Structure 1
Amino acid sequence: MSIHFLKGGLQTSLQDLGRHGFRRYGIPNNGALDPVSLQIANWLVSKPLDSACLEITQAGPVLEFTQNLAIAVTGAHFELLLNDRSVPMHETLFVKKGDQLKFGKLLNGARAYLAFSAEPNVPKIMESYSTNFMANFGGLGGRVFRNDDTLSLNNCFIPETRTTPRDLQLQFGDNYQIRFIQGREWSCFSHEIQQAFLDSAYHVTSQSNRMGMRLKGSAVKTEQSLSMTTTPITAGTIQIPPDGQPIITLADGQTTGGYPRMGQVITADLPVLGQLKANDSISFQEVEIKDALDLLSQKNSMFNRLLSN
């Protein structure tokens, strides 16, 4: 049983919800950049929500299946062709031995997630299947899938048919407002600089990757020279390097940094970052910690309610 990659795509990798509890050893969380879409895909094939999926970035693969099984695709909206016939996202799809699935044109978003009703036959590293590109471990040999690769599968099953609730069939654009709480060095910036940061629109640059999202726009400058020591950072930390162009740490980002921390993207908005691509626009909205917690609670409640039906 396997999935054969006739074409690997731009950056297709195996990801789950990441590895947790290892940051003290310098190991990032890794895992899906849009964990909400990954969990919905797993729900569609009746698997635990934290199961491993294929994360497909911008230009998708061409896959051939060597076993009857169920699949589902969520996240970024691609044109999908099964044996050259259009098939929908956000539904349980049943494929047969020899069927081929092609990811066509990307319509919106940046990353799609393909779940399959089987288990990947690769080892877990630090309790996760997620691929760590920088250290070359996890997934399939710690790398992206290439042309003619094969992902072996175990424990295949055929689930019931499901469709994603309409409220969770998200559409992605090219202009986003990202909410954040103040970072530890927020007060190192003057009120004028803080306001300029809030009033500005930034664009995602092509130098962004799974480690960090580099932005381009109005430079954020401190009025004093900061002597920064190494400080903890995590997914969503907004750092300001010497050129004043913000960098947002993502799932594969390092565990410590040396730049001023302007803010921290709230957990409820982290999945949105996984759907941004080069030239997409970002603006920032400051919220209080209490609001961030309330927003996360509301989002989780809606998510759990919709997927319990």
Structure 2
Amino acid sequence: MSGLRIVSAGFAPTLQDHGRPHVQHLGVPPAGALDPVALRIANALVGNPADTAVIELRVMGPTVEVETGSVRVALVGTDAPVEILGDRKVEAPSHQSILLSRGRRFRVGSLSDTGVAYLAVQGGFDLEPVYGSLSTYTRAKIGGLDGRALRDGDLLPLNRGEADDRAELRCADRSWRRDNGPVRVVLGPQDDYFTADSTAAFFASEYRVTREADRMGMRLDGPVLAHAKGHDIVSDGIATGAIQVPGNGRPIVLLADHQTTGGYPKLGTVVSADVPRLGRLRPGDALRFARVEVEEAEAARRVLEERIDRIVERFGPAEPWLDEDALYRRNLVSGIVEPG
């Protein structure tokens, strides 16, 4: 079997795509990419359909060896470079596609500028989907590679043994990474479970992401919310971005791996257009919230979709980068170029 060898996994990378939102009624959490915008841009750079599974990276990326003819990859969501290892280390930029040949090792280091980034591979991974998705949900051990985070020594089989012959692409527009206005929230369904003063303070105050944050959700540090009707409800459905408030009054924003039902009241839900921004946050990052109506949330999603389409349409030629070591190994013998 050939593919990509995980030499050193880094911090618990997983395979993620658009997830399984269509089976939440069966009690299956949606999973999927924390930042769907970066997922789509990464896939577009390597020529994949938008929902192709990629490697989601958090905190520290992996070291990978190419064990197939050639691969085209793209790292998106961080300014960290792709470090090409060999006799000399070369740094290839992020947000562009890169062609690598068999035997090449590359590394993604510390993600100090974001909470999440994505490594896309042309053609995607040759693995069995669960409910139509390769997204890894580790709590139930489904999806991805054996339902778990990638480990040192894993071999990820690919759908393609060779990358196609084409020019490399670059995403120059990275404005989507710098969105920093208030995170928009639609109130409900249990906003009446909180005092009016608490709700007003929530929208008027700054919150910070605590270290109690993972793919399931992030607990926020800021003004405590006061319950007006107690903190227990009959369990009902949960959407990605729901702001759940347990008995201690500290809000929790639920992310991709959220449970499908819950028994704490929910003040509101972050609009889908702003959910990708939540995935990029790190512990200590600050955020504010703004109340919007459903119609505004729907309009924001349409604007986001159009924006992503424009970003992809405006891809340009990649910055020059040449895998010189691979070129010499293949073509040069005593300084003479071998015929093709």
Tell me which interval the TM-score lies in, with the shorter structure as reference length. over 0.9
1:111-260 correspondence to structure 2 within 5 Å: 111-156=116-161, 157-158=163-164, 160-168=166-174, 170-171=176-177, 177-260=182-265
> Deviations for 1:45-99, whole angstroms, at most 9, x for unmatched residues?
1111110100011111111111211110101332321122111011110001111
Paired residue for 1:81? 83
State which drifts further: 147-156 or 40-49. Answer: 147-156
- Partner amino acid for 1:48? P
**What CA distance in whole angstroms lies between the structure 2 residues aligned with 1:268 and 1:294?**
9
Q: CA shift at 1:169, angstroms?
A: 5.4
Tell me, in whole angstroms, the C-alpha distance in 2 between the residues paired with 1:195 and 1:169: 31
8 Å contact kept, 1:109–1:171: no
Q: Which residue of 1 is the match for residue 25 of structure 2?
A: 24
Question: 1:159 & 1:139 partners in 2: Cα distance?
Answer: 28
In the TM superposition, what is the alpha-carbon distance from 1:176 to its structure 2 partner?
A: 6.2
**Counterpart for residue 96 of structure 2:** 91
Deviates more, 1:5-14 or 1:76-85: 76-85
Q: CA RMSD in A?
A: 1.7
User: Does the 8 Å CA contact 2:54/2:124 hold for their aligned counterparts?
Assistant: no
Identical pairs, percent: 33
How far apart, in 2, do the equivalents of 1:303 and 1:52 lie? Answer: 18
Q: Alpha-carbon deviation of 1:198?
A: 0.9
Report the AA paired with residue 80 of structure 1. V
Aligned to 2:39: 38
Could you tell me how far 1:187 is from its partner in structure 2? 2.4
- Structure 1: distance between partners of 2:295 and 2:144: 37
- Aligned counterparts, 1:66-77, within 5 A: 66-67=67-68, 68-77=70-79
| CA radius of gyration, larger in | 2
Matched to 1:54, the amino acid is I
CA contact (8 A) 1:70 1:159 kept: no
Q: Name the aligned partner's letter for residue 76 of structure 2.
A: T
- Aligned residue identity for 2:52: S
| TM-score, L = length of structure 1 | 0.94
Structure 1: stretches of 5+ with no match in the other structure: none
Partners in 2 of 1:115 and 1:226 — Cα distance? 42
Contact kept, 8 Å, 2:24 with 2:260, in 1: the verdict is: yes
Deviation at 1:191, TM superposition (A): 2.1
1:267 to 272, 296, 308: 272
3-state SS of 2:307 partner: helix
Does the Cα contact within 8 Å between 1:120 and 1:154 map onto a contact in 2?
Answer: yes
Inter-partner Cα distance in structure 2 for 1:165 and 1:276: 21
Distance 1:111 1:276 in 2: 8
Kept in 2, the 8 Å contact 1:108–1:172? The answer is: no
Residue identity matched to 1:167: D
- Where structure 2 has 5 or more consecutive residues not aligned to the other structure, the ranges are 315-340
CA distance in 2, matches of 1:85, 1:226: 55
Tell me how far apart the structure 2 counterparts of residues 171 and 298 of structure 1 sit (CA, whole Å). 15
Cα contact 2:232–2:263 (8 A) shared by 1: no
* 296-305 or 30-39, which deviates more: 296-305
Offset, 1:182: 0.4
Q: Distance in 1 between matches of 2:79 and 2:273?
A: 21
Deviation at 1:207, TM superposition (A): 1.7
CA contact (8 A) 2:193 2:230 kept: no
